[in-house]
A = this chain, B = another copy of it.
Amino acid sequence: MSARILIVDDLFPNVKLLETKLSLEYFDVLAAMNGPDAISICEKGLCDLVLLDVMMPGMDGFEICRRLKSSPTTAHLPVVMVTALDQPADRLRGLDAGADDFLTKPIDDTALFARVRNLVRLKAVTDELRQRALASREFGMGDPLALATAEDGQNASILLVEDRASSAERLSAALSQHHRVTVVADPHDALVLAIEGDFELALVSLDLQGFDGLRLCSQILSLDRIRNMPVMMIAEENERARVIRGLEFGVHDYLLRPVDRNELVARVRTQLRRSRFSETLRGAVQASMEMAVTDGLTGLHNRRYLDSHLAVLFADAAPRHRAVSMLMLDIDRFKTINDTYGHDAGDEVLRSFANRIRLHTREIDIVARYGGEEVVIILPDAEPEAAHHIAERIRERIEAVPFLIQRETRDIHVTVSIGVACRHADDSGPADMLKRADLALYRAKSSGRNRVEAEAA
Protein backbone atom coordinates (compact mmCIF):
# COMPACT_ATOMS: atom_id res chain seq x y z
CA MET A 1 0.00 0.00 0.00
CA SER A 2 1.15 3.46 -0.75
CA ALA A 3 1.32 5.58 2.36
CA ARG A 4 2.64 8.74 3.98
CA ILE A 5 5.60 8.08 6.26
CA LEU A 6 6.71 10.64 8.83
CA ILE A 7 10.43 10.55 9.64
CA VAL A 8 11.30 12.13 12.97
CA ASP A 9 14.98 12.81 13.50
CA ASP A 10 16.94 15.89 14.58
CA LEU A 11 19.83 15.10 12.26
CA PHE A 12 19.29 16.20 8.69
CA PRO A 13 21.52 13.54 7.05
CA ASN A 14 19.56 10.77 8.81
CA VAL A 15 16.30 12.21 7.54
CA LYS A 16 17.71 12.49 4.03
CA LEU A 17 18.98 8.92 3.98
CA LEU A 18 15.67 7.40 5.10
CA GLU A 19 13.71 9.71 2.86
CA THR A 20 15.65 8.59 -0.21
CA LYS A 21 15.21 4.92 0.62
CA LEU A 22 11.50 5.17 1.30
CA SER A 23 10.87 7.38 -1.67
CA LEU A 24 12.42 4.79 -3.95
CA GLU A 25 9.87 2.35 -2.56
CA TYR A 26 7.12 4.77 -3.58
CA PHE A 27 6.22 5.94 -0.13
CA ASP A 28 5.34 9.58 0.37
CA VAL A 29 7.71 11.04 2.94
CA LEU A 30 7.32 13.89 5.44
CA ALA A 31 9.92 14.93 8.01
CA ALA A 32 9.94 16.54 11.43
CA MET A 33 13.10 17.54 13.29
CA ASN A 34 11.59 17.63 16.77
CA GLY A 35 8.82 16.23 18.94
CA PRO A 36 6.27 19.05 18.88
CA ASP A 37 6.40 19.25 15.08
CA ALA A 38 6.02 15.49 14.82
CA ILE A 39 3.02 15.41 17.13
CA SER A 40 1.40 18.28 15.29
CA ILE A 41 1.73 16.50 11.93
CA CYS A 42 0.24 13.34 13.44
CA GLU A 43 -2.64 15.23 15.03
CA LYS A 44 -3.50 16.81 11.71
CA GLY A 45 -3.82 13.32 10.22
CA LEU A 46 -1.10 13.95 7.65
CA CYS A 47 0.73 10.64 7.96
CA ASP A 48 0.07 6.89 8.16
CA LEU A 49 3.15 5.72 10.03
CA VAL A 50 5.92 7.27 12.12
CA LEU A 51 9.61 6.35 11.96
CA LEU A 52 10.95 7.76 15.19
CA ASP A 53 14.50 8.41 16.32
CA VAL A 54 15.07 8.12 20.07
CA MET A 55 17.86 10.55 20.90
CA MET A 56 16.70 14.08 20.29
CA PRO A 57 17.19 17.31 22.24
CA GLY A 58 14.06 18.47 24.04
CA MET A 59 11.41 15.80 23.80
CA ASP A 60 12.99 12.40 23.19
CA GLY A 61 11.54 9.61 21.09
CA PHE A 62 10.16 7.67 24.05
CA GLU A 63 8.17 10.68 25.17
CA ILE A 64 6.89 11.40 21.66
CA CYS A 65 5.77 7.80 21.31
CA ARG A 66 4.02 7.84 24.68
CA ARG A 67 2.15 11.01 23.77
CA LEU A 68 1.08 9.71 20.38
CA LYS A 69 -0.10 6.43 21.83
CA SER A 70 -2.07 7.98 24.67
CA SER A 71 -4.06 10.45 22.58
CA PRO A 72 -7.29 9.21 20.94
CA THR A 73 -6.43 11.31 17.87
CA THR A 74 -3.12 9.59 17.20
CA ALA A 75 -3.17 6.27 19.09
CA HIS A 76 -3.98 4.35 15.90
CA LEU A 77 -0.82 5.47 14.10
CA PRO A 78 1.85 2.76 13.93
CA VAL A 79 5.17 3.92 15.40
CA VAL A 80 8.49 2.26 14.56
CA MET A 81 11.43 3.43 16.64
CA VAL A 82 14.67 3.47 14.69
CA THR A 83 17.79 4.05 16.70
CA ALA A 84 21.46 3.36 17.27
CA LEU A 85 20.70 2.35 20.86
CA ASP A 86 21.11 -1.37 21.02
CA GLN A 87 20.67 -2.32 24.66
CA PRO A 88 17.72 -4.59 25.45
CA ALA A 89 16.69 -2.00 28.03
CA ASP A 90 16.32 0.69 25.34
CA ARG A 91 14.33 -1.64 23.16
CA LEU A 92 12.06 -2.40 26.04
CA ARG A 93 11.63 1.26 26.90
CA GLY A 94 10.47 1.86 23.34
CA LEU A 95 8.03 -1.03 23.37
CA ASP A 96 6.77 0.01 26.77
CA ALA A 97 6.13 3.49 25.40
CA GLY A 98 3.78 1.76 22.94
CA ALA A 99 6.02 1.50 19.86
CA ASP A 100 4.88 -1.12 17.36
CA ASP A 101 8.47 -2.03 16.68
CA PHE A 102 11.98 -1.04 17.66
CA LEU A 103 14.64 -1.42 14.96
CA THR A 104 18.33 -0.97 15.65
CA LYS A 105 20.69 0.86 13.31
CA PRO A 106 22.33 0.01 10.97
CA ILE A 107 18.95 -0.85 9.59
CA ASP A 108 18.37 -3.83 7.37
CA ASP A 109 16.35 -2.27 4.56
CA THR A 110 14.43 -5.42 3.72
CA ALA A 111 13.32 -5.76 7.33
CA LEU A 112 12.39 -2.10 7.54
CA PHE A 113 10.33 -2.09 4.36
CA ALA A 114 8.60 -5.36 5.24
CA ARG A 115 7.66 -3.93 8.61
CA VAL A 116 6.49 -0.61 7.22
CA ARG A 117 4.36 -2.30 4.56
CA ASN A 118 2.95 -4.72 7.09
CA LEU A 119 1.91 -1.95 9.49
CA VAL A 120 0.56 0.28 6.75
CA ARG A 121 -1.65 -2.52 5.41
CA LEU A 122 -3.03 -3.32 8.82
CA LYS A 123 -3.76 0.35 9.34
CA ALA A 124 -5.59 0.61 6.00
CA VAL A 125 -7.97 -2.11 7.16
CA THR A 126 -8.91 -0.30 10.35
CA ASP A 127 -8.97 3.22 8.87
CA GLU A 128 -12.44 2.66 7.48
CA LEU A 129 -13.65 1.53 10.87
CA ARG A 130 -12.08 4.54 12.52
CA GLN A 131 -13.85 6.88 10.12
CA ARG A 132 -17.22 5.35 10.99
CA ALA A 133 -16.45 5.46 14.70
CA LEU A 134 -15.48 9.13 14.42
CA ALA A 135 -18.92 9.76 12.95
CA SER A 136 -20.56 7.97 15.85
CA ARG A 137 -18.72 10.38 18.16
CA GLU A 138 -20.04 13.37 16.24
CA PHE A 139 -23.53 12.01 16.60
CA GLY A 140 -23.11 12.16 20.34
CA MET A 141 -22.70 8.48 21.10
CA GLY A 142 -19.90 8.92 23.58
CA ASP A 143 -16.28 8.74 22.55
CA PRO A 144 -15.27 5.26 21.36
CA LEU A 145 -11.77 6.47 20.49
CA ALA A 146 -11.06 7.63 24.02
CA LEU A 147 -12.40 4.36 25.35
CA ALA A 148 -10.34 2.37 22.87
CA THR A 149 -7.16 4.28 23.68
CA ALA A 150 -7.52 3.55 27.37
CA GLU A 151 -7.30 -0.20 26.73
CA ASP A 152 -4.51 -1.80 28.80
CA GLY A 153 -3.90 -4.97 26.79
CA GLN A 154 -4.12 -7.33 29.78
CA ASN A 155 -6.09 -10.45 30.68
CA ALA A 156 -6.27 -12.10 27.33
CA SER A 157 -6.73 -15.72 26.44
CA ILE A 158 -3.64 -16.64 24.41
CA LEU A 159 -2.95 -19.65 22.22
CA LEU A 160 0.72 -20.69 22.22
CA VAL A 161 1.73 -23.15 19.51
CA GLU A 162 5.10 -24.59 20.50
CA ASP A 163 6.32 -28.18 20.52
CA ARG A 164 9.48 -27.68 22.55
CA ALA A 165 8.47 -28.27 26.13
CA SER A 166 11.14 -26.09 27.72
CA SER A 167 10.42 -23.12 25.49
CA ALA A 168 6.68 -23.54 25.94
CA GLU A 169 7.15 -23.51 29.67
CA ARG A 170 9.31 -20.39 29.66
CA LEU A 171 7.06 -18.40 27.33
CA SER A 172 3.97 -19.52 29.13
CA ALA A 173 5.38 -18.52 32.52
CA ALA A 174 6.24 -15.04 31.27
CA LEU A 175 2.80 -14.46 29.83
CA SER A 176 0.81 -16.03 32.65
CA GLN A 177 1.38 -13.03 34.90
CA HIS A 178 -1.00 -11.03 32.76
CA HIS A 179 -2.86 -13.56 30.64
CA ARG A 180 -4.31 -17.05 30.40
CA VAL A 181 -2.13 -19.24 28.18
CA THR A 182 -3.11 -22.47 26.41
CA VAL A 183 -0.14 -24.42 25.05
CA VAL A 184 -0.59 -26.77 22.14
CA ALA A 185 2.19 -28.72 20.40
CA ASP A 186 0.41 -30.11 17.37
CA PRO A 187 -0.29 -27.58 14.58
CA HIS A 188 -3.47 -29.36 13.43
CA ASP A 189 -4.87 -29.31 16.94
CA ALA A 190 -3.82 -25.68 17.10
CA LEU A 191 -5.90 -24.75 14.07
CA VAL A 192 -8.96 -26.48 15.48
CA LEU A 193 -8.44 -24.77 18.83
CA ALA A 194 -7.96 -21.41 17.14
CA ILE A 195 -11.29 -21.80 15.36
CA GLU A 196 -13.29 -23.27 18.19
CA GLY A 197 -11.70 -21.58 21.16
CA ASP A 198 -12.10 -18.03 22.20
CA PHE A 199 -8.56 -16.78 21.91
CA GLU A 200 -7.54 -13.18 21.51
CA LEU A 201 -4.01 -13.78 20.24
CA ALA A 202 -1.92 -16.62 18.81
CA LEU A 203 1.81 -17.10 19.24
CA VAL A 204 3.25 -19.56 16.73
CA SER A 205 6.70 -21.13 16.70
CA LEU A 206 8.13 -21.20 13.18
CA ASP A 207 10.31 -24.23 13.90
CA LEU A 208 7.78 -26.90 14.71
CA GLN A 209 8.87 -30.47 14.03
CA GLY A 210 7.79 -31.49 10.55
CA PHE A 211 5.41 -28.59 10.00
CA ASP A 212 5.82 -25.12 8.59
CA GLY A 213 4.69 -22.70 11.29
CA LEU A 214 4.23 -19.99 8.68
CA ARG A 215 1.54 -22.14 7.08
CA LEU A 216 -0.34 -22.24 10.35
CA CYS A 217 -0.05 -18.45 10.64
CA SER A 218 -1.47 -17.99 7.15
CA GLN A 219 -4.29 -20.43 7.84
CA ILE A 220 -5.30 -18.58 10.98
CA LEU A 221 -5.15 -15.26 9.15
CA SER A 222 -7.38 -16.56 6.34
CA LEU A 223 -10.15 -17.83 8.55
CA ASP A 224 -13.16 -15.63 8.43
CA ARG A 225 -14.21 -15.89 12.04
CA ILE A 226 -10.81 -15.21 13.57
CA ARG A 227 -9.32 -12.97 10.92
CA ASN A 228 -8.97 -10.07 13.31
CA MET A 229 -7.00 -12.08 15.86
CA PRO A 230 -3.37 -10.96 16.10
CA VAL A 231 -0.83 -13.64 15.20
CA MET A 232 2.81 -13.45 16.31
CA MET A 233 5.75 -15.59 15.18
CA ILE A 234 8.61 -16.93 17.26
CA ALA A 235 11.67 -17.62 15.15
CA GLU A 236 15.36 -18.40 15.31
CA GLU A 237 17.74 -15.54 14.64
CA ASN A 238 18.77 -17.13 11.32
CA GLU A 239 15.20 -17.31 10.03
CA ARG A 240 14.75 -13.66 9.26
CA ALA A 241 13.78 -14.37 5.66
CA ARG A 242 10.81 -16.45 6.79
CA VAL A 243 9.86 -13.79 9.31
CA ILE A 244 9.76 -11.21 6.54
CA ARG A 245 7.66 -13.57 4.48
CA GLY A 246 5.21 -13.76 7.36
CA LEU A 247 5.07 -9.99 7.76
CA GLU A 248 4.33 -9.71 4.05
CA PHE A 249 1.24 -11.87 4.25
CA GLY A 250 -0.06 -10.16 7.34
CA VAL A 251 1.41 -11.75 10.50
CA HIS A 252 1.27 -9.01 13.10
CA ASP A 253 4.61 -9.25 14.90
CA TYR A 254 7.49 -11.57 15.77
CA LEU A 255 10.08 -12.37 18.41
CA LEU A 256 13.51 -13.86 17.86
CA ARG A 257 14.97 -16.54 20.10
CA PRO A 258 16.21 -16.43 22.78
CA VAL A 259 12.99 -14.61 23.60
CA ASP A 260 13.37 -11.80 26.10
CA ARG A 261 10.47 -12.19 28.54
CA ASN A 262 9.93 -8.49 28.96
CA GLU A 263 9.95 -7.91 25.24
CA LEU A 264 7.47 -10.75 24.83
CA VAL A 265 5.14 -9.21 27.38
CA ALA A 266 5.45 -5.74 25.82
CA ARG A 267 4.83 -6.91 22.25
CA VAL A 268 1.86 -9.05 23.23
CA ARG A 269 0.39 -6.09 25.09
CA THR A 270 0.81 -3.84 22.03
CA GLN A 271 -0.94 -6.34 19.77
CA LEU A 272 -3.80 -6.79 22.22
CA ARG A 273 -4.23 -3.06 22.60
CA ARG A 274 -4.35 -2.64 18.85
CA SER A 275 -6.87 -5.39 18.24
CA ARG A 276 -9.06 -4.36 21.16
CA PHE A 277 -8.90 -0.80 19.87
CA SER A 278 -10.47 -2.02 16.61
CA GLU A 279 -12.95 -4.19 18.47
CA THR A 280 -14.10 -1.20 20.52
CA LEU A 281 -14.58 0.89 17.40
CA ARG A 282 -16.46 -1.96 15.73
CA GLY A 283 -18.72 -2.22 18.77
CA ALA A 284 -19.37 1.51 18.81
CA VAL A 285 -20.42 1.57 15.17
CA GLN A 286 -22.61 -1.48 15.67
CA ALA A 287 -24.21 0.00 18.79
CA SER A 288 -24.97 3.28 17.13
CA MET A 289 -26.60 1.47 14.23
CA GLU A 290 -28.68 -0.59 16.63
CA MET A 291 -29.81 2.57 18.36
CA ALA A 292 -31.32 3.74 15.10
CA VAL A 293 -33.97 1.06 15.37
CA THR A 294 -34.39 0.99 19.13
CA ASP A 295 -36.65 3.03 21.35
CA GLY A 296 -34.43 4.71 23.91
CA LEU A 297 -36.86 4.52 26.82
CA THR A 298 -38.16 0.98 26.62
CA GLY A 299 -35.48 -0.82 24.62
CA LEU A 300 -38.24 -2.08 22.31
CA HIS A 301 -37.87 -1.63 18.58
CA ASN A 302 -39.01 1.73 17.29
CA ARG A 303 -41.50 2.68 14.62
CA ARG A 304 -38.79 2.92 11.96
CA TYR A 305 -37.91 -0.72 12.52
CA LEU A 306 -41.57 -1.72 12.60
CA ASP A 307 -42.39 0.02 9.34
CA SER A 308 -39.42 -1.44 7.50
CA HIS A 309 -39.86 -5.02 8.74
CA LEU A 310 -43.62 -4.97 8.37
CA ALA A 311 -43.25 -4.05 4.71
CA VAL A 312 -40.85 -6.97 4.14
CA LEU A 313 -43.08 -9.35 6.10
CA PHE A 314 -46.12 -8.35 4.07
CA ALA A 315 -44.31 -8.76 0.78
CA ASP A 316 -43.14 -12.23 1.86
CA ALA A 317 -46.46 -13.38 3.29
CA ALA A 318 -48.74 -12.44 0.40
CA PRO A 319 -47.54 -14.88 -2.31
CA ARG A 320 -47.33 -17.72 0.21
CA HIS A 321 -50.76 -17.02 1.72
CA ARG A 322 -49.29 -16.92 5.18
CA ALA A 323 -51.00 -15.32 8.13
CA VAL A 324 -49.74 -12.13 9.77
CA SER A 325 -51.48 -10.81 12.87
CA MET A 326 -51.02 -7.58 14.72
CA LEU A 327 -51.88 -6.36 18.20
CA MET A 328 -52.13 -2.67 18.95
CA LEU A 329 -51.82 -1.99 22.67
CA ASP A 330 -52.53 1.22 24.53
CA ILE A 331 -52.11 1.64 28.28
CA ASP A 332 -55.39 2.78 29.81
CA ARG A 333 -55.54 6.27 31.32
CA PHE A 334 -51.78 6.72 30.98
CA LYS A 335 -52.14 10.49 31.15
CA THR A 336 -53.57 10.13 34.65
CA ILE A 337 -50.46 8.20 35.74
CA ASN A 338 -48.26 11.01 34.40
CA ASP A 339 -50.38 13.71 35.95
CA THR A 340 -50.68 11.97 39.32
CA TYR A 341 -47.17 10.58 39.85
CA GLY A 342 -45.08 12.63 37.41
CA HIS A 343 -43.40 11.86 34.10
CA ASP A 344 -40.67 9.76 35.70
CA ALA A 345 -43.29 7.41 37.07
CA GLY A 346 -44.92 7.27 33.65
CA ASP A 347 -41.56 6.33 32.14
CA GLU A 348 -41.10 3.61 34.74
CA VAL A 349 -44.49 2.16 33.93
CA LEU A 350 -43.67 2.19 30.21
CA ARG A 351 -40.43 0.32 30.83
CA SER A 352 -42.10 -2.31 33.01
CA PHE A 353 -44.94 -2.60 30.53
CA ALA A 354 -42.41 -3.28 27.76
CA ASN A 355 -40.60 -5.89 29.85
CA ARG A 356 -43.80 -7.69 30.70
CA ILE A 357 -44.82 -7.81 27.04
CA ARG A 358 -41.45 -9.26 26.11
CA LEU A 359 -42.10 -12.15 28.50
CA HIS A 360 -45.24 -13.07 26.62
CA THR A 361 -44.02 -12.82 23.04
CA ARG A 362 -41.78 -15.04 20.93
CA GLU A 363 -38.35 -14.35 19.41
CA ILE A 364 -39.87 -14.00 15.94
CA ASP A 365 -42.54 -11.51 17.01
CA ILE A 366 -41.80 -7.85 16.44
CA VAL A 367 -42.54 -5.70 19.46
CA ALA A 368 -42.26 -1.98 18.78
CA ARG A 369 -43.13 1.20 20.60
CA TYR A 370 -45.54 2.89 18.22
CA GLY A 371 -46.15 6.16 19.97
CA GLY A 372 -46.29 7.57 23.50
CA GLU A 373 -48.00 4.74 25.37
CA GLU A 374 -48.82 2.62 22.33
CA VAL A 375 -47.05 -0.63 21.51
CA VAL A 376 -47.52 -2.71 18.37
CA ILE A 377 -46.85 -6.43 18.29
CA ILE A 378 -46.54 -8.26 14.98
CA LEU A 379 -47.15 -12.00 15.12
CA PRO A 380 -45.91 -13.74 11.97
CA ASP A 381 -47.80 -16.92 11.04
CA ALA A 382 -50.40 -16.33 13.75
CA GLU A 383 -54.04 -16.96 12.77
CA PRO A 384 -56.72 -14.62 14.17
CA GLU A 385 -57.72 -16.99 17.01
CA ALA A 386 -54.13 -17.42 18.16
CA ALA A 387 -53.54 -13.67 18.02
CA HIS A 388 -56.65 -13.04 20.06
CA HIS A 389 -55.54 -15.60 22.58
CA ILE A 390 -52.11 -13.99 22.95
CA ALA A 391 -53.70 -10.55 23.29
CA GLU A 392 -56.02 -11.80 26.00
CA ARG A 393 -53.08 -13.35 27.88
CA ILE A 394 -51.11 -10.10 27.74
CA ARG A 395 -54.12 -8.06 28.87
CA GLU A 396 -54.60 -10.44 31.75
CA ARG A 397 -50.90 -10.40 32.77
CA ILE A 398 -50.83 -6.61 32.81
CA GLU A 399 -53.93 -6.40 34.98
CA ALA A 400 -53.00 -9.26 37.30
CA VAL A 401 -49.92 -7.78 38.97
CA PRO A 402 -49.59 -4.09 39.87
CA PHE A 403 -46.53 -2.19 38.61
CA LEU A 404 -43.91 -1.37 41.22
CA ILE A 405 -42.44 2.08 40.73
CA GLN A 406 -40.33 4.65 42.55
CA ARG A 407 -37.86 2.09 43.87
CA GLU A 408 -40.69 -0.27 44.68
CA THR A 409 -42.20 2.15 47.18
CA ARG A 410 -45.41 2.44 45.26
CA ASP A 411 -47.52 0.14 43.15
CA ILE A 412 -49.82 1.21 40.37
CA HIS A 413 -52.65 -0.80 38.96
CA VAL A 414 -52.31 -0.68 35.19
CA THR A 415 -54.59 -2.04 32.49
CA VAL A 416 -54.26 -2.19 28.74
CA SER A 417 -56.67 -2.12 25.81
CA ILE A 418 -55.77 -4.13 22.76
CA GLY A 419 -56.98 -4.10 19.16
CA VAL A 420 -56.31 -7.20 17.05
CA ALA A 421 -56.13 -7.30 13.26
CA CYS A 422 -54.89 -9.74 10.63
CA ARG A 423 -53.58 -9.47 7.11
CA HIS A 424 -56.30 -9.74 4.47
CA ALA A 425 -55.59 -11.13 1.03
CA ASP A 426 -56.75 -7.89 -0.55
CA ASP A 427 -54.72 -5.56 1.67
CA SER A 428 -52.71 -3.15 -0.43
CA GLY A 429 -50.09 -2.89 2.33
CA PRO A 430 -49.46 -2.96 6.08
CA ALA A 431 -51.25 0.39 6.49
CA ASP A 432 -54.61 -1.31 5.90
CA MET A 433 -54.00 -3.77 8.72
CA LEU A 434 -52.73 -1.01 10.99
CA LYS A 435 -55.89 0.94 10.40
CA ARG A 436 -58.09 -2.02 11.32
CA ALA A 437 -56.06 -2.67 14.48
CA ASP A 438 -56.41 1.01 15.38
CA LEU A 439 -60.20 0.85 14.91
CA ALA A 440 -60.41 -2.31 17.02
CA LEU A 441 -58.36 -0.60 19.72
CA TYR A 442 -60.73 2.35 19.57
CA ARG A 443 -63.65 0.02 20.18
CA ALA A 444 -61.82 -1.61 23.08
CA LYS A 445 -61.34 1.84 24.60
CA SER A 446 -64.87 3.06 23.99
CA SER A 447 -66.47 -0.07 25.35
CA GLY A 448 -64.85 0.26 28.74
CA ARG A 449 -61.07 -0.29 28.40
CA ASN A 450 -59.03 -3.25 29.75
CA ARG A 451 -60.42 -5.26 26.85
CA VAL A 452 -59.31 -7.06 23.71
CA GLU A 453 -61.29 -6.33 20.56
CA ALA A 454 -60.77 -7.98 17.20
CA GLU A 455 -61.26 -6.16 13.94
CA ALA A 456 -64.85 -6.12 12.69
CA ALA A 457 -65.69 -9.27 10.71
Using CB atoms, name the residue of chain B closest to A131.
Answer: B282
Please state if B214 and A26 are interface contacts (CB–CB under 8 Å).
Answer: yes
CB of A16 within 8 Å of the partner chain: no
Please state if B140 and A304 are interface contacts (CB–CB under 8 Å).
Answer: yes
Please state if B250 and A1 are interface contacts (CB–CB under 8 Å).
Answer: yes
Please state if B26 and A308 are interface contacts (CB–CB under 8 Å).
Answer: no
A161: shortest Cβ distance to chain B, in Å?
16
Q: Which residues of B contact A46 (CB under 8 A)?
A: 224
CB of A309 within 8 Å of the partner chain: yes
Please state if B250 and A286 are interface contacts (CB–CB under 8 Å).
Answer: no
Taken together as a complex, chains A and B put the C-alpha atoms of A48 and B224 apart, in Å, by 9
CB of A296 within 8 Å of the partner chain: yes
Taken together as a complex, chains A and B put the C-alpha atoms of A45 and B224 apart, in Å, by 8
Please state if A222 and B128 are interface contacts (CB–CB under 8 Å).
Answer: no
CB of A185 within 8 Å of the partner chain: no
CB of A71 within 8 Å of the partner chain: no
Contact partner, A304, options B2, B289, B291, Cβ 8 Å: B291
A322-362 near B? 1/0 per residue, CB < 8 Å: 00000000000000000000000000000000000000000
List the 6 shortest-distance A-B pairs measured between CB atoms, nearest first.
Answer: A140-B308, A291-B292, A292-B292, A2-B221, A26-B218, A2-B218
Q: A2-B218, A290-B292 are in contact. List 6 more A-B contacts (CB 8 A).
A: A1-B221, A26-B214, A28-B219, A132-B285, A289-B292, A372-B372
List residues of chain A with CB under 8 Å of any chain B CB. 1-4, 25-28, 45-46, 48, 121, 124-129, 132, 135-136, 139-142, 214-215, 217-219, 221-222, 224, 245, 249-250, 282, 285-286, 288-293, 296, 302-305, 308-309, 312, 371-372
